[in-house]
Structures are given as structure tokens and as C-alpha cells.
Amino acid sequence: MSALISNVVPSSGFCMYDRGFSSTYDSGVGVIPNSTFNAHALRINSSKASETSIFHFFRKNKINLNSVTCAKSSSAPDEPKKSPKSSETALILIRHGESLWNQKNLFTGCVDVPLSRRGVDEAIEAGRRISNIPIDMIYTSSLIRAQMTAMLAMTKHRKKKVPIVVHKEDDRSIAWSRIFSEQTSSEVIPVVTAWQLNERMYGELQGLNKKETAEKYGKKKVHEWRRSYDIPPPNGESLAMCAERAVAYFKDQIEPQLLAGKNILIAAHGNSLRSIIMHLDKLTSQEVIDLELSTGIPMLYIAKGGKISRRGSPTCPRTVGVYAYTSNLARYRELLENMEE
Amino acid sequence: MSISVPCRTSSAYFCSYHNVPGIVTDKAMGTQLKYVAGALPLKMHVLKKQVISGRSSSSNINALSNILASANGSAVLDGPQKAVKSSETALILIRHGESLWNEKNLFTGCVDVPLSQRGVEEAIEAGRRISNIPIDMIYTSALIRAQMTAMLAMTKHRKKKVPVIAHNEDERSIKWSKIFSDQTSSEVIPVVTSWQLNERMYGELQGLNKKETAKKYGKQKVHEWRRSYDIPPPNGENLAMCAERAVAYFEEEIEPQLLAGKNILIAAHGNSLRSIIMHLDKLTSQEVIDLELATGIPMLYIAKDGKILRRGSPTCPRTVSVYAFSNDLADYRQQLESDEE
């Protein structure tokens, strides 16, 4: 099995984090993003003897890779029925983009404010970047800006499955949302909305202008509330409290699905996603405070062999670059492209 | 003076109204203005920036715009604190655009399927058309495609108010969504989601392919379910049942707000909106079956003196033409434009 990759020019520094996480990976896939060089070293080792390994070696200078050839898989699986034949699943995290209150510089927290025009564009752009990654389930918060981000991103997704929001609030909504075709049900990506993935609740600062709040309480206090780990704003949540409910939800509901073989997309908020990243990457509270997750840029994790490891941010498909893919995801992408021909 | 009324629904509707103006062409004026005359006690204005039928200005138009300009001083329109100084309020109905299951030709009903790329664009286009009409409250269904339509449309809205979804499912959500600034609260457009505005529940047809269903049950039966007033699909709602809950909700919750002076946007579905139009326009069940509401094209009603009258569909602002505005809405639009200068 192999995939045809020609004239691939590696891009530089596709990892949106400013720290060298890749050095901690020991699952056989090493990604060394390096913004000072124009090349990556990407080595993929497959533990299965029957699989062909794909090795890409890049030296310090850019190299045109035009002779790595792989044959197509003869048993081309049709996507809805089979996931990539591996024990590997993808976890994608997307932080929603600009909201209408971001534009106005107001503290938002759990007030359910929708996306601005720019936030809509960011969501669609994020969708382009993940269009080739299989997704079996989607989790969002109960706030519309995260839900819209997920749905807008999925309008760009290449697979034929359709995201459907799951309704379980009461008997009526369960009865009314039933699907009566097996075929259709198998092509559904369930979307689960959960308040536990909401943004940190900002208490009495919600709706306040950031400048005014600094004037009222003092810059230092506001900085403390915004950037400490355990000091909550009045009647609000600290980052620790947000992390507690977000990570608990992740461990209860999402992790089991991921480790059981489902590819998952989580569209949520800055603080709930930082909490999850803190859990996945085992960050200290100081490290998580310094962590900034870009809006609208998806972050990819791969779960394999019980471990969940960060892989970076898939670049825009239109950029001539190399995805932070594993060999399986690369093959999957090839498959999608072949099917469209 | 005169306005041509662009209406996207079947023209038969205008003929059946007693109190909606007919359209007469007046050549005596030397321009090709169309008169709208009728029983409505409203004067309709030609906006000074519009070009009518190729002629850039006539003395009549200039005189009118002077009247408008002087009227602006008295009508305080833009401030969030004051409503339009008249007893007139706007009601806008928008039917959401294409969903991902529309694309696949599946019966959707109350399954919570999101918008397709095209549906997103239709929503944004609808937003352009209503960008100058004041909105104080938004009502949508519990389904994401209607909510997204409302939120995407509002990204184009010119007023500074921000739509915020009201959450009162439980104590936690009430507490978490509180806003602590009066200034901010006054600039909020509450968005109320309610299942009563949902699409007609399609019972055992939900998720089925339209062709397959025709094969399985027979074309005639399917046609009956889709196009009759009181024959429900198996375990589903007929149009009468849908109308019952949608109109009841409208009468209890929306109409009082409208008649109390709030400008309202309803973003919902084909059948729930038809039911409301049936109620507002006093249609018979045969007439409502024949009614097709265009997707993504807003339908404007004006409530005045206890009556709610249909005014047609506001055209796209980029079209050189005249809105189906009342003079107060025209004043309001002038106000917005002069504020922006």
C-alpha cells in the first residue's frame, strides 16, 4: 500500500504552540516543528510488519519530494462503514473565533453571545483544515458560538456523514428527533452539547467593559482574575473550577469514546479547552496559565495504544505543506482524493 | 408617494387583500414612479439616496427628502433606550435555507440537522435585506438550523444591539448567563428558542429518502402526507397539529410583545411559519397548503393599531430600488445612515 506524493514542499512551523512538545512523544511518531529552519524531520514508524512504512526525510534545506510512491489500497473502504484500519483515532480541538462581545471588548463568560462575521469566517477556515480528518462524534458546549463553529466547520468536511444535534432534554424532544432509516442513522455524526464544556463562568464581570472593570477594581485585581489559576472573579469560576468540570466531563464521556475507536471533534472555548489540554499534556498550573490556544486553528491529537499525544495543527489544504499526519491519516486522505476522481 | 412593492410570494396574495395597496403606474409625473394607493393611512417615502427607474432625482423626491430630514430630529431612532416614535412595529419572518439533509433529499422534520454551505449563504443574504429594520427580540425554534439562520443574519445587522440567547433550562443556566452591566443589558436583543416553532414533526418518515418512501408507501400516500392539511404521516404531525402549537405560541408569547411595541424577528421553518402566516393573513386551509414561503427571503409585517399587515419582502440593499417601508422605517433608515456619516 502506498500513496502518491509528489512535489511536496514542507512548510515551516505549522505548530501553533510555542513550546517543544514534540520532544516528549515516544509513540513512534516524531514531529519536530522548527520555525528557524525551513524543513521538518518527519519519521513514521509502523509497528505492523504488514504495513509499508512511509519515511520522509527532510534536510535543513527545502527538498522537493517527488519520488515517494505508494500504491492505492485495493480494498478501498467506503467511509461511513469503516474507520481507518488502525488502532489510531483522531481528537480535534477547535476554539471558536470572534464573538460579537469580543468585538465590543466585553467580558463574555457564559453569556450566550453568537459569532461575529469574523468568527464565522474563522470557523469556516478551521473547517477547511480538518476537512480530511475522519470524524465520528462531535462535542460542543451549550453556547451557540461553539455550536456554530462546529456546524460551520463541518460544512467543509469531505465525508458524507452529517452532524445531527442530539436532543435528550425531555421525552418529547427524544421522540421528535428519532430517525427511522438505518442507512441514514449510520451516516450521522452525533453532536452532543454539554454545559461542562462551556467557557469559564465570569461571575459579576459578565457584560462589563474591560476598561471600565480595570478602572473599577484596579488593573491588578482584574489581571489576577483573568490570569491566575485559582482566584475567581466575584461569584464566578476560577480556572481550577472550570478545569474540574471540563476535565471530569472529558474523562467520563469523551475519553472512553476516543479510546474505543471514535474520531472526535470538540468545539469549545478558551478555558475549557485549555483545561483539557492541561489534562492531556499533563501541564502544571503555571504552564496552563501561559497557554494560549489560537482561535479557529484546530489542534490535533492522536490516540493510540491508550495514549493521547499531540500532533500539532493541520495546515490549510491550500498551503503546500506536510500535514502532521500519521501514515494512516495520510492514506485516508489519499483514499478520499481517489474517490473524488 | 409611491413605492413598488417587491414580493417574493405568489402575486395572488396581493389581490386577495382588501387593505394592501395595489400598484398603479403614473406617467403624469414625468418619472416612472409607481403609486401605491390604498386604505393604509401610511405615507410612503422615497428615500433620497435611491435612484428610481434611472432618473436620479426629481423635485418631488428632493422635497420629500427635506421632509424626511426635518422629521429625523423628532424621531429618536437609534438609541437603544427609545423605540421608534410611532405605534408601529415590525415583524420579520425568515425561513431557514438549505440543510444538509435537504441536499441529500431526506425527510428532515424535527431531526436537528444543520445548514449546508448554501444555507449559510442564504442566511447571510437574508441578513443584508433586514439590516436596516430595527429588531428588539428574536424568536427561533429549538433546532440549530433556525438558530444559525438568525445569528448569521444578525451579523449583517446595522444596529449596535447584540443578540444573546436566553437560557432558563435550569437554575445553573439562569445563574450562569446573567449580565452584570445595565448598559450592556440595554444593548441586548434577547433570543428565545422554543420547540413550538419547530418544523412539523414527520414521524416515521424522518430520515427516509424521498424516493424510497414513495416506493414504499406509494406516491399518492406520500403526497397526501406532505400536502394535505390534516393527514399526518405515521406517528407524526399533520399541518393542523403543527399550526395549533405554533400559532398558540405566537398568540401567547410573540403577539403581545409585538403589539406592545417590540420589533420582532422570527427565524423558523416552512410549516411553522406557514401556520403563523395563516393566522396573520386569515388564510383557509386550502390557501395555506398552496403557500410556499421562499427560503432565506425575509417576509415583513407591520403591526399598527392592533392590526398586523403584510408588507412584502425587503429587497437587497444593493439593488437600486425602494424598500417596502413605512415612513417611520424610512426615517429610521435615514437616521442610521446619517449616524454613520
pLDDT tens for residues B101-120?
998 999 999 999 999 999 99
Catalytic residue among A88, A199, A237, A255: A199
pLDDT digits (tens, 9 = 90+) for A246-266: 999 999 999 999 999 999 999
Could you tell me the three cell numbers for B184? 450592556
Please enumerate in sequence order all residues whose Cβ is within 8 A of that of B131, keeping only pairs 6 or more positions apart, or say none: B156, B157, B158, B317
Chain B residues with CB-CB distance to A179 below 8 A: 111, 206-207
pLDDT band at B335 (very low <50, low <70, confident <90, very high): confident
> In angstroms, rounded to a whole number, what is the distance separating the alpha carbons of residues A132 and B299?
39
Residue A79 and residue A333: Cα distance in Å, rounded? Answer: 11
B60 or B314, higher pLDDT = B314
Between A294 and A276, the more confident residue is: A276
How confident is the model at residue B332, as a pLDDT? 73
Put simply, the answer to whether A156 touches B164 (Cβ < 8 Å) is no
User: One-letter amino acid identity for A99?
Assistant: S
Of B166, B172, B207, the CB nearest to A180: B207
Mind telling me how many Å the CA of B339 is from chain A's nearest CA? 18
Average pLDDT over residues B4-16: 35
Cell of B229: 392539511
Interface test with B, best of A98, A102, A103, A162 (most B CBs within 10 A): A162
Comparison of pLDDT for B42 and A233, the residue scoring more: A233
Q: Band of the pLDDT at A316, cuts 50, 70, 90?
A: low
A224 is in an annotated binding site: no
Nearest to B178 by CA among A99, A108, A243: A108
Domain limits, chain B: 48-321
Binding residues of B for substrate: 95-102, 108-109, 145, 199-202, 210, 226-227, 270-271
Residues of chain B in contact with residue A101, where contact means CB-CB under 8 angstroms, are 162
pLDDT in tens, A150-177: 999 999 998 889 999 999 999 999 999 9
Quick one: closest CA in B to A186, which residue? B207
Q: Flag if B151 and A208 touch (Cβ within 8 Å).
A: no
* 3 state SS of B88: strand
| Whether A199 is catalytic | yes
Answer yes or no: is pLDDT of B164 > 80.
yes
pLDDT band at residue A196 under the 50/70/90 scheme: very high
Q: How confident is the model at residue B60 (pLDDT cuts 50, 70, 90)?
A: very low
* Cβ contact A113–B162 (<8 Å): yes
Assess contact for B288 and B228: CB atoms under 8 A: no
Backbone angles phi, psi at A35, to 5 degrees: -80, -15
- Residues of chain B in contact with residue A147, where contact means CB-CB under 8 angstroms, are 144
Nearest residue on chain A to B204, alpha-carbon basis: A180
The C-alpha cell of A112 is what? 450566550
**Most B-contacting residue of A104, A124, A160, A177 (CB-CB within 10 A), to test interface:** A177
Select from B99, B180, B197, B217 the residue whose CB has the most chain A CBs within 10 Å, as the one to mutate to test that interface: B180
The mean per-residue pLDDT over the stretch B299-313 comes to 88
The reply to whether residue B185 touches residue A100, judged by beta carbons under 8 angstroms, is no
pTM score, whole prediction: 0.73
Report residue A223's pLDDT band, with 50, 70 and 90 as the boundaries: confident
Distance CA B217, CA B231 (A): 14
Q: Which domains does chain A have, with CATH numbers?
A: 14-83+320-339 (no CATH), 86-314 (3.40.50.1240)
| pLDDT surpasses 60 at B64 | no
Considering only residues A160 and A274, tell me which one the structure prediction assigns the higher pLDDT: A274
Q: Which of A111, A155, A180 sits opposite B206 (nearest CB)?
A: A180
Query: Which residues of chain B neighbour A154 with C-beta distances below 8 Å?
Result: 114
Q: Is B167 a catalytic residue?
A: no
Chain A and chain B share a number of CB contacts under 8 A equal to: 133
Q: Report which of residues A4 and A158 the model is more confident about.
A: A158
- Nearest CB to A151; choose among B148, B180, B201: B148
Which residue pairs from B78-83 have beta carbons closer than 8 angstroms and sit at least 24 positions apart in sequence?
B78/B159, B78/B335, B78/B336, B78/B339, B80/B160, B80/B161, B80/B186, B80/B187, B81/B186, B83/B134, B83/B136, B83/B261, B83/B262, B83/B263
Q: How confident is the model at residue A292 (pLDDT cuts 50, 70, 90)?
A: confident
For residue A189, give the chain B residue with the closest CA: B113
**What mean pLDDT comes out for the span A240-245?**
97
From chain A residues 71-130, the ones with a CB under 8 A of any chain B CB are: 100-101, 104, 106, 109-117, 120
Confidence band of B95 (pLDDT split at 50, 70, 90):
very high
- A289 pLDDT band, cuts 50/70/90, is confident
Active-site residue, from A96, A157, A269, A279:
A96
Judge: B114–A165 Cβ closer than 8 Å, yes or no: yes
Between chains, do A195 and B173 touch, taking CB under 8 Å as contact? yes
- Give the residue carrying C-alpha cell 412539523: B200
**Closest residue of chain B to A165, computed from CA coordinates:** B112
Report how far residue A302's alpha carbon sits from residue A311's, in angstroms, rounded to the nearest whole number: 7
C-alpha to C-alpha distance for B207 and B109, rounded to whole angstroms: 8
Confidence tier at B310 by pLDDT (50, 70, 90): confident
Interface probe for A, chosen from B104, B106, B111 (most Cβ of A below 10 Å), is: B111
CATH number of this structure's domain B48-321, picked from the four choices 3.40.50.1240, 3.30.470.20, 3.40.50.720, 3.30.70.1060: 3.40.50.1240
pLDDT reported for residue A82? 45
Put simply, the answer to whether B181 touches A120 (Cβ < 8 Å) is no
Averaged pLDDT for residues B87-108: 93
The predicted structure's pLDDT at residue A56: 38
Does residue B200 register a pLDDT over 60?
A: yes
